[in-house]
Chains A and B, each alone.
Chain A
Amino acid sequence: MAETVLEIRDLRKSFGALKATDGVSLDLVRGEIHALIGPNGAGKSTLIHQIAGSLTPDSGTIRFLGRDVAGLDMAARARLGLARSFQTSSLAREFSALRNVMLAVQARQGSSLRFLRPVMQDASLTEPAMAMLARVGLAERAHVPAAELSHGECRQLEIAIALALGPRAFLLDEPMAGMGPEGSRRLTAFLDALRQEAPILLVEHDMDAVFALADRISVLVYGRVIATGKVDEIRNDPEVRRAYLGESA
């Protein structure tokens, strides 16, 4: 049995009468891409928010690397090695692409309470950041402010920032959203190799990408996981077909 990196047990979160997360249990094991799919409003993002620490669950446990992360805020969970990308790009928009990645490199190196050395002259920040940008194919755009990057480039930058954290697990919330077919294809190839560095919990609507990438798929409907299994099991699960995939799948 592979090592479990992220373990979610009976997680619950309600907004008034709406049960956004209704007893979700989920594992992420080393070396895998675990895709989380489900119709709009199924509670995928709500789940990601609770794992990342930007929402507090009503009950249930989240264990990361064997440790209960309840009581840890988003920053503390990120320091443990939980890297996330956002459904809509979340960047320091005035900073260049490079400086956005440098921020992650800086965070990984430890305390940000350093007041003297200029960051732009600090090769221990600029060089790893540049390397990450090169990995996602953004090296030429390093000095462009994030606000001026195209949508697809912002998505790439989010991945570069997550990479720079040297994480133990990735939470990627719709990384393909709004990307063209060519961009999606490239990102699919990229993520395919990335699972060797750290397992990925992948929320994605692009079914081609999900079926191409996922080792396992969990289907979330109305806040509940109705099925978890390998790609073929999910494709052929009658309940999943009825609830989500429709006739075309």
Chain B
Amino acid sequence: MRRAVTREAATNTTLALLLLAAPLAASAMGEPFYVTLATRIAVLALAAVGLNIALGLGGLVSFGHAAFFGLGGYAAGILATHAFNAEPLFLGIAGTTSMPAIWLVAMVVCGLVALPIGAVSLRTSGVYFIMITLAFAQMIYYFAISWPAYGGEDGLSIYLRNSFPWVNTAAPLPFFLVCYGLLLLGLLVFRALRDSRFGAALQAARQNEVRLAAVGIAPFDIRLTAFVISAMMTGVAGALFADLNHFVSPSMLSWHMSGELIVLIILGGKGRLFGPVAGAMLYVLLEHVLGGITERWQFFLGLILLGVVLFARGGLIGLVAGRQSHG
């Protein structure tokens, strides 16, 4: 058992160093494109780490996490637009271009939206849970499309990337380092949650909710808390994604995005600390490499996903590091 733990730790360290070293090297060689690619990996991984709290630890297959990803993106876009145009948001509150402030707003907004969505969705389970989270996300998607104030269908541009204290976020590498740092922070949060009393209850709810209730812990409360925390983390990733692309549009809210986040987790290994990181690396690299060869690259992604689901349920991390150990 000990050995499996060590092997997973070694795998995780390797992945973390790889994701850091590649953009450093690319930057040194004057290849900023690859820095952007690594940033995309880090941001998608962070979004998926957030979803992994609900899906991996809690077994809650949310097909609506794009809602939180997109809301985070719109938080960045809307606040930046108001700051840029020097128009107060409402009640005289000014916009902001400060990333930490934007992340805070993204977290609060996503938490407040996730609370009622979770409270309703978690009355159901299985396929119904999947469908109801999807329905909520689609409602927000269509709302964004039909609300002209912030670009409607066309989306919203962020002319200047938002700022972070002492960091020149306009340059690719410093911005990557901000995203990477936040990813590491997200992973630390995930690990702390997983190993805590809360995490024990959450994972027990996934394995056997009757057992959890029989010892006196209400599964609903635990799951709702997990859903809200999960949404908040995905929301921060959404804000970074908008900054990465200088753009936020309803596509960030669409069900494709929700599906993509689920795919990242399944590829990498659901419930595993570095599953979303491994999944995001594979996904973005496939998108880049195969996408350069054929427009139909997702066909090959589908094949790989099929292979993982049929032959390697633990995903990439499961293949390399073996089965999850629970102490």
Interface residues of A (CB under 8 A from B): 52, 54, 73-76, 78-79, 83-84, 86, 90-96, 98-100, 102-104, 106-108, 112-120, 122, 125, 143, 145, 161, 165
Contact = CB atoms under 8 A, between A and B. Distances in A.
Question: Chain B binding site: helix, strand, loop or mixed by DSSP?
Answer: helix
A112 B200 contact: yes
B208 A112 contact: no
B208 A90 contact: yes
B193 interface: yes
A75 B324 CA distance: 28
Given A73-B213, A75-B218, A90-B210, A115 B203 contact: no
Closest 10 CB pairs of A and B: A78-B216, A118-B195, A79-B216, A92-B207, A112-B201, A74-B213, A75-B218, A107-B215, A104-B215, A107-B216
A117 B197 contact: yes
B210 A99 contact: no
A145 to B, nearest CB: 7
B21 interface: no
Interface of B: 1, 192-193, 195-201, 203-204, 207-208, 210-219, 221-222, 225, 324, 326-327
Nearest to B1: A143
B207 A95 contact: yes
A94 B207 contact: yes
10 contacts: A74-B214, A90-B211, A106-B217, A113-B221, A114-B198, A116-B196, A118-B196, A125-B197, A145-B326, A165-B215
A79 B195 CA distance: 23
A120 B213 contact: no
Interface SS of A by simple majority: mixed
Nearest to B197: A114
Nearest to B211: A90
A103 B195 contact: no
B234 to A, nearest CB: 18
A115 B199 CA distance: 7
A94 B199 CA distance: 14
A161 B1 contact: no
Given A73-B218, A99-B200, 17 more contacts: A75-B212, A78-B213, A90-B214, A92-B203, A93-B207, A94-B203, A94-B326, A99-B326, A103-B204, A103-B215, A103-B217, A104-B215, A107-B215, A115-B193, A116-B192, A122-B197, A143-B1
B214 A52 contact: yes
Contacts of A122: 197
A106 B327 contact: no
A102 B207 contact: no
Contacts of B201: 103, 106, 112
A52 to B, nearest CB: 7
A84 B197 contact: no
Contact of B324 (A92, A94, A99, A103): A94
Contact of A91 (B195, B199, B211, B219): B211
A115 to B, nearest CB: 5
Nearest to B222: A112
B200 A119 contact: yes
A91 B297 CA distance: 43
B218 A91 contact: no
B327 A115 contact: no
Contacts of A115: 192-193, 196-199
